[in-house]
Amino acid sequence: ASVTFSDDHSLVSAVLPTGESVSVLLHGATVLSWKDASGTEKLWLSTASALDGTKPVRGGIPLVFPFFGPPPPGLSLPQHGFARSARWEFLGKSTSESAGGVGVVDLSAKLDFGLSSAGLDAATREAWPFAFNLIYTVTLDRGSLTTSLVVSNDDEARPFDCQVLMHTYLRVADIAQTEITGLDGASYVDKVDGAATKTQSAAVTIAGETDRVYTPMASGAQVAVVEGGKKTFSVARDNLANVVVWNPWADKAKGMADFEPKDGYKNMLCVEPGAVSGWQTLEPGDAFEGAQTITYYS
């Protein structure tokens, strides 16, 4: 048995022989779907999301670059930057073997995508005039999904500052029964309370609009999603110091034209690894790499 790949110049997919699958839209290199062996979807995707490139995808895993949130003063670019709106190039696919159970060899699939300054439209290139190169790798293993971004400064002379974030929309059965562990003791900026800095105590529960930028302690426990008392996801970060936790709740969801169904906020939780509380300064020739691995437990 081998991995089945497909590419229709808009969507690239991989299916493992054991049934797990992932699909990535070239628009934004947005992971749209990630399913386990039984075909159960692990990500939330709005049914009203634009998938034709006219708007960023509302759901899946949009990529945030070169800044998080509204544009810094003087930059005329959309919220969360241009990476999630640009059309990426599919660079290639590969398969590798890893040891599964006793005597079992599991296959994993890797998809590589690229975006560079040359791939931007003229207006965006003018607004952010740096020579950069992004390589985004999506790796599907039997029980996990890894997304990894390498940002390089290809400019000959100028440094640039950037932020990166993986805006993962996890699918949950019932937000009222869901909590996030591993953030106990972490400091966070509460964006729904005037950007006040607070300290998390105990698990994070979501009972209203939630928009927080956490800086987990380096020595802290792994961030995990617990549903009805049972761990359903863990989110490991590599070189990404922050975790944004976002749920728009009922009123904000109502105000978002591309958020459907309107009560979908009960079935999603954004847990977003990123490097967003400061800036990465990349000198010419420098690179920054950050990654997340999401593991599910069923």
The annotated binding site for substrate is made up of: 58, 79, 84
Nearest residue to 50 via CA among 14, 71, 25: 25
If the CB atoms of residues 131 and 192 are measured against ligand BG6, the closer one turns out to be 192
Token pair of 71, please? 């544009």
If the CB atoms of residues 15 and 235 are measured against ligand BG6, the closer one turns out to be 235
Q: Print the binding letters for residues 215-244 with ligand BG6: x by CB under 6 A, - otherwise.
A: -----------------------------x
Looking at residue 81, the DSSP 8-state letter turns out to be B
Query: Exposure string (b/e) for 255-286, b if CB count within 10 Å is 16 or more?
Result: eeeebeeeebbbbbbbbbbbbbbeebebeeee
79 forms part of the interface with ligand BG6 (CB under 6 A)? yes
167 is catalytic: yes
Query: Exposure string (b/e) for 162-178, b if CB count within 10 Å is 16 or more?
Result: bbbbbbbbbbbeebeeb
If the CB atoms of residues 182 and 273 are measured against ligand BG6, the closer one turns out to be 273
55 forms part of the interface with ligand BG6 (CB under 6 A)? no
Q: How far apart (Å, rounded) are the C-alpha atoms in residues 265 and 261?
A: 8
Query: Among residues 20, 179, 227, 272, which one is catalytic?
Result: 272
167 forms part of the interface with ligand BG6 (CB under 6 A)? yes
Nearest residue to 200 via CA among 243, 257, 261: 243
271 forms part of the interface with ligand BG6 (CB under 6 A)? no
191 forms part of the interface with ligand BG6 (CB under 6 A)? yes
59 forms part of the interface with ligand BG6 (CB under 6 A)? no
93 forms part of the interface with ligand BG6 (CB under 6 A)? no
CB of 246 to ligand BG6, least distance (A): 4
Q: Which of 246, 271, 273, 275 binds ligand BG6 (CB under 6 A)?
A: 246
Compute CA distances 16 → 24, 30, 40, whole Å: 15, 19, 14
Rule CB under 6 A: which of 104-163 touch ligand BG6?
none
CB of 169 to ligand BG6, least distance (A): 10
Q: How far apart (Å, rounded) are the C-alpha atoms in residues 91 and 116?
A: 12
- Number of residues engaging ligand BG6 in binding (CB under 6 A): 9
Q: How far apart (Å, rounded) are the C-alpha atoms in residues 82 and 120?
A: 9
Nearest residue to 176 via CA among 217, 198, 207: 207
CB of 4 to ligand BG6, least distance (A): 31
27 forms part of the interface with ligand BG6 (CB under 6 A)? no
Query: Among residues 167, 179, 209, 283, which one is catalytic?
Result: 167
Annotated binding site: 58, 79, 84
Q: Give the β-pairing of 204-205 and 268-282.
A: unpaired
Q: How far apart (Å, rounded) are the C-alpha atoms in residues 274 and 92?
A: 25
Looking at the annotation, which residues are catalytic? 167, 272
Residues binding ligand BG6 (CB under 6 A):
56, 79-80, 167, 191, 211, 244, 246, 272
